Structures are given as C-alpha cells and as structure tokens.
Amino acid sequence: MHELAIARDLLHIIDRTLGADNVRVLRIDLAVGAASGIAADALRFAFGVIAEGTRAHGAELSIAASPARGRCVGCGILFEFEGMIGVCPACGKLGGELLAGDGMMLRAIEVADV
C-alpha cells in the first residue's frame, strides 16, 4: 500500500512546515495528480493511521484532483491525460510523455492554536 508511505512523507512535510509551533492541524489541502495513482480514500485512511498521536491527528484531508497533462510522442501536441495512460486526441497514439499530474502538492495547512 504505497499510500502509507505517501502519508508518512506528507506528515514529515507538514511537520517541517509548522516547525516548533504549538498548533493543532485542522485541515490539509492537497492536490493529487490524476496520473499519480494515489487513491484519495486510501490516502485519507493511511494519514489517519500515521497521524495518530501527532498534532495532525484528526485533521481533515481535502483532496482535489489536478489534471494530468502530457505531450504526444507521435504528433507533439499537448493534451490532458485520462488516468495513467494518455491517448492523443489528435492522432490516437497511446502513451505520450507525462509532463504534469503524476505527483501530489500540498497547497495549504489550516491550523489552530492549542
């Protein structure tokens, strides 16, 4: 389950971002690429497990899907991927070079003073 590793990374990033501030995390705003293979529900579950006992315990994970974009290796146009594999809308070639949407981005952390 690679969401567990992602949740662990996410918690590290949050910890680093917050530093030594004595706060409680209420909400985490994420953008997950459509071609990242990350399942939102699995990530939510994994984060709940990982965050147990930390200041992010009980935080709400808001996960928005960001589109994946790629370039066709056949005709070179830019197009939006659907899922992990792109099919060029112009020439129909399968595959394509993924340019964006294969990762996860932390957009905002909402905190409250303890």
Considering only 6, 32, 72, 111, the residue that binds Zn ion (CB under 5 A) is 72
Shortest reach from residue 97's CB to Zn ion, in Å: 11
Shortest reach from residue 73's CB to Zn ion, in Å: 8
Burial of 23 from C-beta contacts in 10 A (0-12 / 13-18 / 19+): middle
CB closer to Zn ion, 2 vs 93: 93
Is 26 within 8 Å of 111 (Cβ atoms)? Answer: yes
- The yes or no reply on residue 49 touching Zn ion (CB under 5 A) is no
The stretches of the chain forming alpha helices (DSSP H) are: 2-18, 40-50
Instruction: Tell me how many helices (H) and strands (E) the chain has.
Output: 2, 6
Half-sphere exposure of 74 (CA within 13 A, CB side): 11
- The yes or no reply on residue 75 touching Zn ion (CB under 5 A) is yes
- The yes or no reply on residue 78 touching Zn ion (CB under 5 A) is no
Task: Report the 10 Å Cβ neighbour count for 55.
Answer: 18
Considering only 91, 94, 99, 105, the residue that binds Zn ion (CB under 5 A) is 91
Considering only 78, 90, 99, 105, the residue that binds Zn ion (CB under 5 A) is 90
Total residues interacting with Zn ion, rule: CB under 5 A: 7
Residues near Zn ion (CB under 5 A): 72, 74-75, 88, 90-91, 93
